[in-house]
Chain A
Amino acid sequence: MAERDRAAAADAAMPVLEKPGHPHESAHLHVTGAARYADDLSEPEGMLHLAFGQSSQAHAKIVAMDLSAVRAAPGVFAVYTAADIPGANDVAPVAHDDPLLAEGAVLSHGQALFLVAATSRDAARRAARLGKIEYAPLPAAITAAQARAADSLIEPTQRMARGDALAALETAPHRLKGGFAMGGQDHFYLEGQIAVATPGEDGQVHLVSSTQHPSEVQHLVAHLLGLTSADVTVEVRRMGGAFGGKETQAALFAGAAALVAAKTGRPAKFRADRDDDMVMTGKRHPFDVAYEVGFDAQGKLLALDLFLSSPCGASVDLSPAINDRAMFHADNCYYLPDVLITSERLKTNTVSATAFRGFGGPQGMLAIERILDDVAAHLGRDPLDLRVANLYAPGRNETPYGMTVADNIAPEMIAHVRQSANYDARSKAIAAFNAQSPVIKRGIALTPVKFGISFTTTHLNQAGALIHVYADGSIQVNHGGTEMGQGVYVKVAQVVADVFGVPLASIRCTATRTDKVPNTSATAASSGADLNGMAAYNAAMTIRARLETFLARTFGCGEDAVRFTPEGVLAGDARMTFGELARRAHMGRISLSSTGFYATPDIAYDRAAHKGRPFYYFAYGVSVSEVAVDTLTGEHKVLAVDVLHDVGASLNPAIDKGQIEGGFVQGQGWLTTEELVWHADGRLLTHSPATYKIPTASDRPRRLSIELWDGQNVEPTINRSKAVGEPPFMLAISVFSALNRAVAAAAPQVRALPPLDAPATPEAILKAIAAHRRAAGGVHA
């Protein structure tokens, strides 16, 4: 059956309706401390604990490594360098350019040089600091500017274009140039990177890894050790948060643990120290944005020449796809008639930047929202009116990459929130407040989100599942999705429970394992429930079809007279519990186990031309944020936020609302308190929660209302739901826009946007206020 037909069948089997808000399947374990994470598993006798010796240089040749003191340190069992790796010294996802242990040269500060295995974690960490490394320093590009000056790129600069932006700029009635910078972001998953490797017979290795991508860890470990994929099993029951930070970055630690297990024959655990984790693992890409925009007197955009530049760090990692996604989202909800998006991917001597919720989307989206704020400030207009004027609309519904926006619900959603949040009245009240408040200034902004759903690397859009129905009627569900807190297990379990008409309690979700479902994609791109839910649905339907045939045969009814209902299974006049049916089917020698597979239909993308349909559909959202800024200290507070978010027909509204709120606050952190600071010599200075500040409870907006859009996916996804992992992150852009307006209120006569960069720390805000006031001096002096 074609995927589209399967999906249509899913609609029939599972009528589109709002599902009840089942709690997270592990909630009762989380709150009692009984949920087991990798470090909580009992430690077998003889387990070794690992630590890396790390580079103190950002870019240097390794002249000599004297590890004698490391080997002699108490508790040390073994010390390994690149020369000890039997297979490929590589833990990179795509480009084979991330060695497990440095060979010949180091490319970033903190890079792993050697690996210590010791009888305790403390002994390993202490010994790892005793290496005597002789370096011959090489010129290092730490900043984007340094990399640009050295013409240091990870891949050629990419261009996405429609029409002739430069010609259209020439003829536009108004033109504006601008630019700003946005920072990166550390994932700060609460559970740090960890992997536990256990050697098996005949060279096999079993790994418990805190990873979003068990299959990739499996493949990399196999190559590293010179094994086949069949020799390596990777298991992950749950992660203590990931957010993209365990998509490729887990492989370093898993590779190290596997190497030690293979070399020593002992189990080995690598649990990274928080500070080491922050130094050694990649983060969200910072971006510099420069633009020239042409528009008419009403603020309608006519031409855009947009330049995006991001320092990608020392290796390729996923940076090409991440930067592509920034380009894909530089339109957000707006029609850009003549547009040129240029995307520069710089290679720097810093830890390689990596996936993080939104995957470049937030950076592209922030760019266009900033541009609209700039145009509005220039014209002295309410930015919301400009946003509305530029939305996709009939006849203006093709993205810069040539995809038609088929389900354009942004206009309706914006109109709804504009009214429900009382945007216009509050804007007026805020202007009045600002006029009489010398120190505190308020700002309000509404920004929309349109986020493309699918891996833009088309082949990744596939998933598998494995379902066992046992003879007592209990059901085990397994699939390629990994659980990092987002609730993919409970959503998939709900899908399966619905197929069989059984209560959710009948379903046991089991750990994601490469020996149950092979060749999986990362749980990423918000795709977990879409892909794995449909794969599990297909597996369940295969079993159900067998049961229907069996029942029809047994009870002499048509297969269409078989019903799986919450009250039991009906076959003609017969009725039985699902458990009774399972037992009968087993006695009748019916296979009660099945795999299921799903591949997203209809998507295709030509990367060379940057044209095609990379996304199956879009998920939308709208938020209104009100902020207050202290113009003397630069401190701010987010006072109220109204969110309307589109999850299609929700599989689980409680889980979805959790994703929306969590995503919003994480996005707020990116744009406000979370600042990564690098020393000129390439050291990350913000390598602990003492210096890197994610939001706390009091940073949550005082008033935060979240409403789900009443709609369903136009595409036949599982239950007509939509992905929810990443899109809400970008709702927080309204906070940044509101901060800009509050800062601008410090000198309201200036018809320009204050030069505020993200994150809007107190220092950044105070600096922007000073510059904005200086601009006022220039205008009115």
Chain B
Amino acid sequence: MAVSFLLDGERVDLDTLDPTGSVLDFLRTTLRRTGTKEGCAEGDCGACTVLVGALHEGGVRWRALNACIQFLPMLHGKALLTVESLCADGVPNSLQACMAGNGASQCGFCTPGFVMSLYGRAIGACGSELPVADVIAGNLCRCTGYGPILEAGELVSCLPREDGELAAKLAKIAGTPASGEWQGRRWFAPVTAGELAALLAEHPGATLVAGATDVGLWVNKGLRTLDTVIFLGDIAELATITESEDALVLGANVRHADAHAALARLHPDLGELWRRFAALQVRNAGTVGGNIANGSPIGDGPPALIALGAELTLRSAQGRRTLPLEDYFIDYGKQDRQPGEFVESVRIPRPAVNAVIHMAKLSRRFDSDISAVCGALALTLEDGVIASARLAFGGMAATPRRAAACEAALVGQPFSLATMERGAEALRADFTPLTDVRGSSDYRLEAAGNLLRRLYLREQGVAISVLDMEAIDG
């Protein structure tokens, strides 16, 4: 198989490679370019953060990604920057110099990853509109306590970059996708949804890879061998965001980072949920469609989208079908996706003007964590009475699911704390959550019920989030 990309603007052509080898291993082992570190090999620590650029509107759009869970063929047609790219002849750039002078490194092992995340922010990479702390939420440091890193990020927040020449070079290699075979294992990279449908009809057992934020772990941690991979990243028609007066339609290939702004425009809680969705490197890779198709009971996308009444469109060589998103999730590890089908898009209706919505992700840590409970509550009110209720939860059952008994307990009732109390009680009929590493059954039920109280109290103007609190003036 053949893969071509630009490293520091220089073309790299590979014709033999393990299709599920990681970009990180290629950098460290093949090139012995060792500035990029492996901290966890599962996309959770950010020590391997690199910047990957793609052609976009004539320029180059950069993204911070975890090199440990990027398969090497995913780099095809892209530009790659690593920490070594930033210093000419060993002279640190201004961000690096600022970090060095500001005590932003102690053991130094996480430092290259922070440099790349902050450099991405400074050059306007995807997600760079976010505050510094959000941009580095996917970078763990165990030594510094983060203060000097945050300061450096604030101090060097804009570094102009001229990418015209790079864009021209990229244009030369971006046309032909990487496809091929290595030791009997195949990698396909279709460029249209039609091609994908045909490929999937031919290889119904193929592994579909969009961002590899989950499949990367199958390989790195599960040591799985993937015989046939179909990579979705080159299918532009699946990466469209369509906002209309009545709905937001996200193609399956839309990355979480790109969906963030449009989702925030639907409702601020949705924006906040996506801000806390994994971390930027993962949002830059993972897709909305992948988060749904994957079928995880603890994905943060489905509960929110189900509560808003989203519909899912599946496609195959035989055509399309559309179903309510909640119907897609049948049981643990089982979804309503037939052989040959793939997720094409999800349509999210705009909330009604009389909607009252609260979405919350409860986890041990605010940033870059997996929910113990993800609750999405959408009510409509008419004359102080709850006219409709769509409540969906993640982490409460084997699938993301609506809370039918709770919804029934709410609809037709006055919008009051007492109603919410009854709704919370009814949740116990809806769910018998597991006790697992993220939380006990009791905690999940109690906290989920309290989200109903929270929704009501917030509407009454009560402060409900510790994230909104400032210290008492000392």
The interface of chain A, by Cβ under 8 A from chain B, is 21, 23-24, 26-37, 39-40, 42, 122, 125-126, 129, 187-192, 238-243, 273-275, 421-422, 426, 429-430, 433, 437-440, 442, 444, 484-487, 626, 628-630, 632-637, 639-640, 642, 654-655, 657-658, 661-666, 673, 675, 677, 685-686, 688-691, 693-700, 702-704, 761-763, 766-767, 770
Q: How far is the CA of A485 from the CA of B103 in the complex (A)?
A: 11
Q: Which residues of B lie under 8 Å from residue A129 when comparing CB positions?
A: 223
19 contacts between A and B (CB under 8 A): A27-B101, A40-B34, A189-B107, A192-B39, A240-B110, A241-B107, A242-B107, A275-B42, A429-B473, A433-B472, A629-B466, A637-B469, A662-B145, A664-B145, A691-B370, A696-B137, A700-B145, A762-B362, A766-B447
Please pick, from A32, A430, A640, the residue contacting B92 in the complex, using a CB distance under 8 A: A32
Interchain nearest-CB distance for B97 vs A (Å): 8
Output the residue of A273, A487, A696 with the most chain B CB within 10 A.
A696
Please tell me if the beta carbons of A33 and B469 are within 8 angstroms of each other in the complex. no
Please tell me if the beta carbons of B90 and A32 are within 8 angstroms of each other in the complex. yes
Q: How far is the CA of A444 from the CA of B471 in the complex (A)?
A: 10
Given known pairs A33-B83, A34-B35, the reply for A189 and B142 (CB within 8 Å) is yes
Please tell me if the beta carbons of A37 and B109 are within 8 angstroms of each other in the complex. yes
Please tell me if the beta carbons of B364 and A693 are within 8 angstroms of each other in the complex. yes
Which A residue's beta carbon lies closest to that of B85?
A33
Q: How far is the CA of A422 from the CA of B472 in the complex (A)?
A: 10
Q: How far is the CA of A703 from the CA of B469 in the complex (A)?
A: 12
Q: How far is the CA of A762 from the CA of B444 in the complex (A)?
A: 11
Q: How far is the CA of A485 from the CA of B115 in the complex (A)?
A: 17
Which B residue's beta carbon lies closest to that of A128?
B223
Q: How far is the CA of A421 from the CA of B472 in the complex (A)?
A: 11
Please tell me if the beta carbons of B145 and A630 are within 8 angstroms of each other in the complex. no
Which B residue's beta carbon lies closest to that of A125?
B223
Given known pairs A126-B223, A696-B140, A703-B471, the reply for A32 and B87 (CB within 8 Å) is yes
Q: Which residues of B lie under 8 Å from residue A34 when comparing CB positions?
A: 35, 90
Does any Cβ of A come within 8 Å of B353's Cβ? no
Q: How far is the CA of A438 from the CA of B41 in the complex (A)?
A: 43
Please tell me if the beta carbons of B100 and A30 are within 8 angstroms of each other in the complex. yes
Please tell me if the beta carbons of B438 and A691 are within 8 angstroms of each other in the complex. yes
Output the residue of A36, A686, A700 with the most chain B CB within 10 A.
A700
Q: How far is the CA of A261 from the CA of B88 in the complex (A)?
A: 39
Q: Which residues of B lie under 8 Å from residue A762 when comparing CB positions?
A: 362-364, 372, 443, 447
Please tell me if the beta carbons of A191 and B84 are within 8 angstroms of each other in the complex. no
Please tell me if the beta carbons of B142 and A697 are within 8 angstroms of each other in the complex. no
Which A residue's beta carbon lies closest to that of B279?
A696
Chain B contributes a number of interface residues (CB within 8 A of A) equal to 92
Q: Which residues of B lie under 8 Å from residue A673 when comparing CB positions?
A: 364-365
CB within 8 Å of A: which of B98-126? 99-101, 103-112, 115
Interchain nearest-CB distance for A726 vs B (Å): 14
Interchain nearest-CB distance for B146 vs A (Å): 4
Please tell me if the beta carbons of A241 and B109 are within 8 angstroms of each other in the complex. yes
Given known pairs A29-B108, A439-B463, the reply for A190 and B134 (CB within 8 Å) is no
Given known pairs A421-B474, A677-B437, the reply for A33 and B146 (CB within 8 Å) is no
Please tell me if the beta carbons of A191 and B37 are within 8 angstroms of each other in the complex. yes
Q: Which residues of A lie under 8 Å from residue B37 when comparing CB positions?
A: 37, 190-191, 240
Does any Cβ of A come within 8 Å of B369's Cβ? yes
Please pick, from B35, B45, B112, B447, the residue contacting A634 in the complex, using a CB distance under 8 A: B447
Does any Cβ of A come within 8 Å of B148's Cβ? yes
Please tell me if the beta carbons of A665 and B146 are within 8 angstroms of each other in the complex. yes
Please pick, from A32, A662, A691, the residue contacting B84 in the complex, using a CB distance under 8 A: A32
- New A-B contacts (18) at CB < 8 Å, excluding given A240-B37, A632-B464, A699-B365: A27-B101, A28-B92, A28-B96, A28-B100, A31-B97, A32-B86, A34-B90, A37-B37, A242-B107, A440-B466, A633-B360, A634-B443, A639-B469, A661-B148, A696-B366, A702-B471, A766-B443, A767-B443
Please tell me if the beta carbons of A23 and B466 are within 8 angstroms of each other in the complex. no
Q: Which residues of A lie under 8 Å from residue B86 when comparing CB positions?
A: 32
Contact indicator per residue, chain B 249-291, by CB within 8 Å of chain A (1) or not (0): 0000000000000000000000000000000000000000000
Q: How far is the CA of A515 from the CA of B140 in the complex (A)?
A: 35
Q: Which residues of A lie under 8 Å from residue B28 when comparing CB positions?
A: 39
Q: Which residues of A lie under 8 Å from residue B67 when comparing CB positions?
A: none
- Which of the candidate stretches B7-15, B383-391, B450-458 sits at the interface with the other chain? B450-458
Q: How far is the CA of A695 from the CA of B132 in the complex (A)?
A: 15
Which B residue's beta carbon lies closest to that of A274?
B40
Please tell me if the beta carbons of B437 and A686 are within 8 angstroms of each other in the complex. yes
